[in-house]
Structure formats: C-alpha cells, structure tokens
C-alpha cells in the first residue's frame, strides 16, 4: 500500500506524476476557506505534506499524528517550528541551491533599477513627459565599481557576489554568522562587522534568513549609519526590516533609494507609504519566480517528500537529529 501524502500547492503534472509513482496523493491546488476542512480531514492519516508558507507548529502537528515529513517548496523555512517538528520525530526539508542564480538575478535587477531609476523613468516616458531639454533631472547613479555590502553570505549571497565581482568590478563587504572563506578567496570579499558594512557600502543588500535574531535586524539605527547616497535592497524576508524606520529614512533622505522584493505583510497594502515613493522599486516577492526555477524547486521538494515517506534520508534535511536518535 502506497503511503498517503498531501500536496497543497499547484505543481507541474510531471512533478505530481513523480510523486504518484511512490505515493497516494491528495492534491489541493491551494488552501483557502473552501478547502481547509477537507485538508485537515485528510491530514489525520497523511505520512507527508508538500507545499509552502503553511505554518507547521505544535498545534498543526496535533492534527497529523502519522506525519513523517514536511517538505517546503522554498529555501526559507520560517513557517516551520523546527523544535516542535523535531520533537515529534518529523523530518523537515527545503529546496536550497536550485534558486540561487535566479534570486541573484532579481536582486541585481533591483539594484540596477533603483540606481538608474528605471521604473520611474519608464513611467516618465510613457506619460509623454520626455523632451529634448531633459538633463540632470533624469540622472541616476553608477553601479559598477561601487562598494557592495552583503548581509548574509549564503548560497544566494554568493551568487550576488559573483555577479558583483566579475560583472561589475564591485568591491564586496559581507557580514555573516561566520566567515565564508570561499567568498573571500573567489570574490576578494572582506568580512566585517554589520556597523562597518553599513557605514562603508554604497549598496546594502540584505539576504539573511528570518530567525528570532534577524527580526527587524535593520532599523532606524542601521539606516542612520548608512551613507546618504546608499541604496538599500531587501531580498530576504519583510520582517527582517523595520518598515516604519525605512519609510522615515527615505523621507528624511538618510538613504537615497530602496529596492524591495519582500514586505512585512504580503501582499502589501495598496496604501502603504513605500508604494507612493518614486525612489523605491517594489516587486511582489518574485525572487525565484521563473518557470524553470520553480519547476526545479518543486522537483527537489518532491524528491525530499518521497525519500522521507519511504523512510530514507531526504537530500535537504533541515533537522538531521531525527535520524540520529
């Protein structure tokens, strides 16, 4: 008898077929008010679940007594209460690596768009405001040869550093929980304190995971340390930044501009003050959103799920202690 799993995210048919070869699949394209009741009914005897963003904590686990694995279609897993999951001997997995280059492309796009005012000037042209007398009012700032500070030198941070070093001749500062010798050797990146990075960088790129230690890591104090010409880019999670402090920093011209792929509340409210600022480039949390990369992420999540329900060690196990007991 095949183990029963629940997929609660729209997946390509090829990925679903892969899972169905080994498992009985209960499939929900999305979870909403119409599907939650059925989802929790099916959860009672499910061995594994696959999806993203769903909060998996002690309360959730009470509804899933037979669960062996939770598979996130994401590199981030702040929706997982890892201690609670581990205490139940449930495996937790994510999908790192396959999205690094795609997210790095997005982050560089935000840097370039903010520096060269591309969304603002795109609208300027489309509204018929362009004239032959336009001059310095359309100027932006260079990206090449400027100093880039990366907070969080993980896989995506490394991919950003690669683009900065080899493509834009940017000196790189980085702050991380520990030194990354590969970044230092390959990209001549310099390890430094957060304060030094904020003071010295022309571009500040936040790529840290969301943990209790990184909630509102960047706030009023940090923005005041930055250069007035600095451009701030957040590609991590919205909660790593104090958004009210960011609004004030932009309004007070403590920093020049910002590029944001993430917000504290998603979707962001239409009347949020950041959305009315010409010097803020905004995206709807689409860092990894290409067909190619999302398919790779889904396939990796599926491999994690199948391996886990079959009692094997998944490729991307977050809590290996469950196999060490």
Segment 292-307, tens digit of pLDDT: 999 999 999 999 999 9
Mean pLDDT, residues 313-321 = 96
Q: Contact 190/174 with Cβ under 8 angstroms?
A: yes
- The answer to whether residues 47 and 3 touch, using CB atoms and an 8 Å cutoff, is yes
Residues 255 and 120 placed together within one structural domain of the fold: yes
Structural domain for 255, as ranges: 100-282
Note whether 90 and 104 are same-domain residues: no
CA distance 305 to 316: 10
pLDDT of residue 80: 97
Q: Report the number of distinct structural domains present in the chain.
A: 2
Same domain assignment for residues 159 and 87: no
Q: Are residues 248 and 119 in the same domain?
A: yes
- Choosing from 29, 30, 182, 266, the catalytic residue is 266
pTM of structure: 0.93
Our answer to whether residue 248 is catalytic in this structure is no
Q: What is the CATH number of the domain that holds 76?
A: 3.40.50.720
On whether both 90 and 105 belong to a single domain, the answer is: no
My answer on whether 137 and 273 are in the same domain is yes
**Catalytic residue status for 33:** no
pLDDT tens per residue, range 73-129: 999 999 999 999 999 999 999 999 999 999 999 999 999 999 999 999 999 999 999
- Decide: residue 5, CB within 10 A, 0-12 exposed, 13-18 middle, 19+ buried: buried
Q: Are both 9 and 79 inside the same structural domain?
A: yes
pLDDT of residue 325: 63
Residues 35 and 111 in one domain: no
Distance, in Å, from the CA atom of 50 to the CA atom of 52, rounded to the nearest integer, reads 7
Locate 184 and state its tokens.
Answer: 């230092």
Domain co-membership, 251 together with 125: yes
Point out the catalytic residue in the list 175, 237, 294, 307.
237
Q: What is the pLDDT of residue 284?
A: 97
* pLDDT band at 19; cut points 50, 70, 90: very high
**What ranges in 6-99 are assigned the alpha helix state H?**
13-22, 36-43, 58-61, 82-87
Residue 164 in this model has a pLDDT that exceeds 90 = yes
Asked if 226 and 238 sit in the same domain, the reply is yes
> Residues 59-65: what's their mean pLDDT?
97
d(CA 320, CA 78): 17
| 291 a catalytic residue | no
Max CA distance (Å), the chain:
75
The residues near 96 (Cβ < 8 Å, ≥ 6 apart) are 75, 155, 316
Q: Which of 20, 88, 116, 285 is catalytic?
A: 285
Is there a single domain that holds both residue 17 and residue 68?
A: yes
224 shares its domain with 271: yes
């Amino acid at each position: 008898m095949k183990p029963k799993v629940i997929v609660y995210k729209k997946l390509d048919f090829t990925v679903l077929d892969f899972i169905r070869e080994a498992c009985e699949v209960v499939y929900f394209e999305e979870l909403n008010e119409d599907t939650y009741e059925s989802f929790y009914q099916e959860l009672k005897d499910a061995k594994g679940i696959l999806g993203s963003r769903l909060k998996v904590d002690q309360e959730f686990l009470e509804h899933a007594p037979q669960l062996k694995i939770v598979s996130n279609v994401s590199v981030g897993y702040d929706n997982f209460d890892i201690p609670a999951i581990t205490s139940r001997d449930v495996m937790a997995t994510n999908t790192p690596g396959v999205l690094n280059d795609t997210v790095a492309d997005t982050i560089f796009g935000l840097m370039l768009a903010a520096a060269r005012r591309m969304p603002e000037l795109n609208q300027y042209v489309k509204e018929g405001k362009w004239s032959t007398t336009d001059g310095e009012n359309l100027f932006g700032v260079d990206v090449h040869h400027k100093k880039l500070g990366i907070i969080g030198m993980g896989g995506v941070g490394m991919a950003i550093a690669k683009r900065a070093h080899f493509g834009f001749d940017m000196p790189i500062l980085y702050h991380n929980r520990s030194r990354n010798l590969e970044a230092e050797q390959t990209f001549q990146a310099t390890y430094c304190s957060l304060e030094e990075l904020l003071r010295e960088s022309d571009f500040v790129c936040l790529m840290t995971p969301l943990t209790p230690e990184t909630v509102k890591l960047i706030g009023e104090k940090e923005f005041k340390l930055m250069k007035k010409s600095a451009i701030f880019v957040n590609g991590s999670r919205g909660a790593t930044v104090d958004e009210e402090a960011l609004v004030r920093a932009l309004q007070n011209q403590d920093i020049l501009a910002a590029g944001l792929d993430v917000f504290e509340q998603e979707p962001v409210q239409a009347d949020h003050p950041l959305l009315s600022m010409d010097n803020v480039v905004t995206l709807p949390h689409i860092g990894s959103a290409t067909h190619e990369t999302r398919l790779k992420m889904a396939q990796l999540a599926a491999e994690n799920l199948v391996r886990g329900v079959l009692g094997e060690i998944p490729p991307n196990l977050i809590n290996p202690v469950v196999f060490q007991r």
